[in-house]
Amino acid sequence: MSEKGVVLKSTGKWYIVELEDGSIVNCRLRGKMRLDGLKATNPVSVGDVVNLNDIEDEEGNRVIESYDPRRNYIVRKSTNLSKQKQLLAANIDRAYLLITIHSPVTHLAFIDRFLVSAESFRIPTTLLFNKIDNYSEDDLLYVDALIDMYSRIGYPGHKISATNKDNIEFLKDEIKGNQVMISGHSGVGKSTLVNALDNSLNITTNEISEAHSQGKHTTTFAEMHKLKTGGYIIDTPGIRAFGIVDMDKAVISHYFPEMRAMIGECKFNNCLHLNEPKCAVKAAVENFEIDESRFLTYTQLMEEDENDIHRKNDFA
């Protein structure tokens, strides 16, 4: 008779699983597991609901026999030279992208790439602009403008300071009963935020590298933490760059909500919104109905070489 659990952590060969009764067990995978067509280096990830056999070895370890169908998942390239992917997390109710406008800088192209990828995996996303206690008046005006731009196309944004527990209280309510993911560059304060949401977790944090204004990475594997206030947070490794994996260029515009809303308005049904005449999307950019920075990210994605081994898509 099998028993269900959810994967909290994977270190390659071994998995930490929380059973339905709340107990924690160490597990390994059964021989060869089917990957359901997903060319990934790991068949199971954090967030997966797995089925364990009822046999324990001498040390109390269990065997993962299979996993339940996923509602969604998110992957990244395993290495720049590999065509395989690493399954990062599964069954995500919402992603939170943590952003800082300096120390380190989160560029708009990075935000847009993350949002496109999340859209392709059908994961709703909220933007969290962190470290606002360190920002000047001009910085805060810029953040307000970004929140306005992204909220207009369906991505809520909030100004927070992970060190101020009062202005992150709303997150506890949003996360309660859900399985969410927190992502962003190294150094933006992911671990600090998770610790602030539940101070019993004591996740290691690290200072910003002065030489590169980047965080020294502290998370090497995605790990899911159970909060005392309810819900689970998936803490991902810090992302240096975000490449788009296995995305047909004919449908990239569908993952930009403001472009998706204009499907059917161009002269040509197969319009790629690049050089075609009477393109409704390009007209919307010229009329300031679609933000130029978003359209620039779109054109960069359309021009990228899928096989370029120098395209960065790794985690710091």
Residues 188-243: tens digit of each pLDDT: 998 899 989 998 887 765 544 333 344 444 445 688 999 998 999 998 776 555 55
Whether residue 308 is contained in a domain is answered as no
Q: Is the Cβ–Cβ distance between 49 and 5 less than 8 Å?
A: yes
**Given the structure tokens 């403001």, which residue do they identify?**
258
Q: Are residues 155 and 127 in the same domain?
A: yes
pLDDT band at 78, cuts 50/70/90?
low
Inside any domain, residue 313: no
- Quote the pLDDT of residue 224: 93
Cβ burial, residue 152 (10 Å; 0-12/13-18/19+) = exposed
Taking alpha carbons only, the member of 1, 48, 56, 46 closest to residue 25 is 56
Query: Which residue spans within 78-119 are E strands per DSSP?
Result: 85-90, 94-99
Last residue of a domain, one of 209, 235, 261: 235
Are 206 and 267 in a shared domain? no
How many residues are listed for the chain in this entry?
Answer: 316
β-pairing verdict for 94-99 and 49-52: unpaired
Q: Same structural domain for residues 224 and 98? A: yes
* pLDDT value, residue 220: 54
Six token digits for residue 96: 């939170």
Cα torsion through 257, 263, 269, 274, rounded to 10: -40
Tell me how far apart the alpha carbons of residues 105 and 183 are, in angstroms, rounded to a whole number: 14
What is the pLDDT, as a whole number, of residue 85?
Answer: 75
Structure tokens at 272: 């790629």
Q: Which residues of 274-306 are buried (b: 16+ CB within 10 A; e: fewer)?
A: eeeeebbbbebbeeeebbeebbebbeebeeeee
Same-domain pairing of 226 and 279 = no
The structural domain count of the chain equals 3
End-to-end CA distance of the chain: 41
Q: Do both 164 and 40 map to the same domain?
A: no
Answer yes or no: do 96 and 229 share one domain. Answer: yes
CATH number at residue 218: 3.40.50.300
**Do the domain assignments include residue 76?**
no
pLDDT tens digit sequence for 297-316 = 999 999 986 555 334 443 33
Torsion angle of alpha carbons 42, 46, 49, 51, nearest 10°? 50
Does residue 67 register a pLDDT over 70? Answer: yes
- Domain span at 63: 3-69
Residue 129: which H helix or E strand, with range? strand 125-129
| Overall average pLDDT of the 106-114 stretch | 94
Task: Flag whether pLDDT at 59 surpasses 70.
Answer: yes
Question: Same domain, yes or no, for 227 and 113?
Answer: yes
Domain closes at, from 69, 104, 127 = 69
Assigned domain for 84 exists: no
Residues 186 and 114 both lie in one domain: yes
134 and 99: one domain? Answer: yes
Say if residue 228 is in the same domain as residue 254. Answer: no
Same domain, 230 and 254: no
Residue 17 lies inside a defined structural domain of this protein = yes
d(CA 70, CA 225): 19
Determine contact, residues 118/153, Cβ cutoff 8 Å: no
Last-in-domain residue among 69, 84, 101: 69
Q: How far is CA 213 from CA 96, 188, 209, in A?
A: 22, 10, 5
Provide the pairing of β-strand 62-67 with 24-29: parallel
Identity of the residue numbered 159: K
Which whole number is the average pLDDT over 170-196?
Answer: 92
Question: Residue 9 in contact with residue 46, Cβ under 8 Å?
Answer: yes
The token pair that represents 223 in the structure block: 């790990």
Buried b (16+ CB within 10 A) or exposed e, 53-66: eeeeeeeeebbbbb
Pairing of strands 14-19, 3-10: antiparallel
For 293, the 3-state DSSP assignment is: helix
CATH number at residue 17: 2.40.50.140
Residue 81's SS3 state is coil
* Residue 58 domain-assigned (yes or no): yes
d(CA 67, CA 88): 15
Residues 119 and 228 in one domain: yes
Q: What share of the chain has pLDDT > 70, as a percent?
A: 82
Say how far apart CA 200 and CA 203 lie, in whole Å: 9
